[in-house]
Structure 1
Amino acid sequence: MTTAQHDPRPLFRSALEWAGDLFAGVRPEQMTDPTPCPEFDVRTLLGHLASTVDRGRVIGMGGDVHSVPEVLSSPDDAWPGTLDAVTTRYWEVWDDDALLDRPVTAPWGTFPGRAAVLVSLNEVLVHGWDLAVSTRQDPEADPALARAAHEIMERALPASPRGGEVPFGPVVDSTPDAGPTERLANWCGRVTAPWMRPGDA
């Protein structure tokens, strides 16, 4: 077991810090722009990312994730504060070391708590990439963080089967110049095109 798998919380802290910077960089006029998630525009993607963190808190508490809406609501100018608030509540639960080995239950099964943190890590990084490319921000998290998450997901999420009960699209071939976060998103089925990188015309 790698250090990241033994305690993935430092990775998740870093991912949440990156997401916080992305939330702060969204401009008001971008809220209704489309994203690589066809079911979300920018505003609802912000709400879904915040919900992912809050649902992770509920899982750690042994509660029902459906008590938290899939998409949280917030005034458009308050999204960074909303993410900060759910992040603070998350760590009030997950700072407990014993949770890493305690069985927790989510809609996709029962497993050790560390696995729940890894699921949340992947969700925040991939949806963070979605948010970054759709708002023309830097789509790359810290390379070491993204590479560690990708290594974990290659084992946790095989290339097949996909679809049906495995809610991920087929693996997308990465372009030669793709960064580590983009490669993670591609592994999870995200197509880079037609999403332009920051600075593209």
Structure 2
Amino acid sequence: MGRASRSRERVLGHLTVLRGLPRGGGPDAAFRERLRERLTSALPDEEPARPVGHRRPRHRRRRSMSSPLVSIGLVAAMMLSAVATYEAVPGDTLYPLKRAAESTLVRLSTDDVVRGERELVSAKTRAEEVAQLLGSAQDGPLVSKTLKDMEQSTRSGISRLRRAEPRSPKIDRFAEDQRNMVEPMLEQLDGVQQDQAVGYLDYIEGLVAPG
């Protein structure tokens, strides 16, 4: 049994003893003595005494110092990678990873409401990506593809939400947010892209419940 397992068992033993105490009042002298003995036995074993003049091997010291640095470096690299993936747009190297992460979140959702909401979040993300692509060197086919993906996510998400919550106010809020996002783009879109965006706006306009 390893040291970590033994320490865990000792802690559990302390908790068991504490749990058995009556509420109110302090522990008696016998209990304090037993607890002192258990806590003393739970302390890490001291290293054996070394002869005078004996030095700790340097490679062990370097290893103990470098281990936290390696861990910090790995965490930092993972955080930077996650941020870069989150901010990726169509055409970027990390964009497929971003889409794969979104798809995984959707597939892991067993509840229709949660799944529908996540698909609508994806649709909003596609609208933001279109806005970023417009006027950039990556404008063109990527815009049309992203508009198409946006509509597919929207229709799928709305379909799930309507099955679970036919009159959900989330649908109205989503339609309003998307309209505010897509309408300002129309002047920057070419003929085919404009047709896609106008068709999308017509669809989400029909989602809003009559006042």
**TM-score, length of structure 1 as denominator length:** 0.30
Report which of the two structures shows the higher radius of gyration computed on alpha carbons: 2
TM-score, normalised with respect to structure 2: 0.29
Q: Using CA pairs under 8 Å that are at least 6 residues apart, name the structure with larger relative contact order, 1 or 2.
A: 1
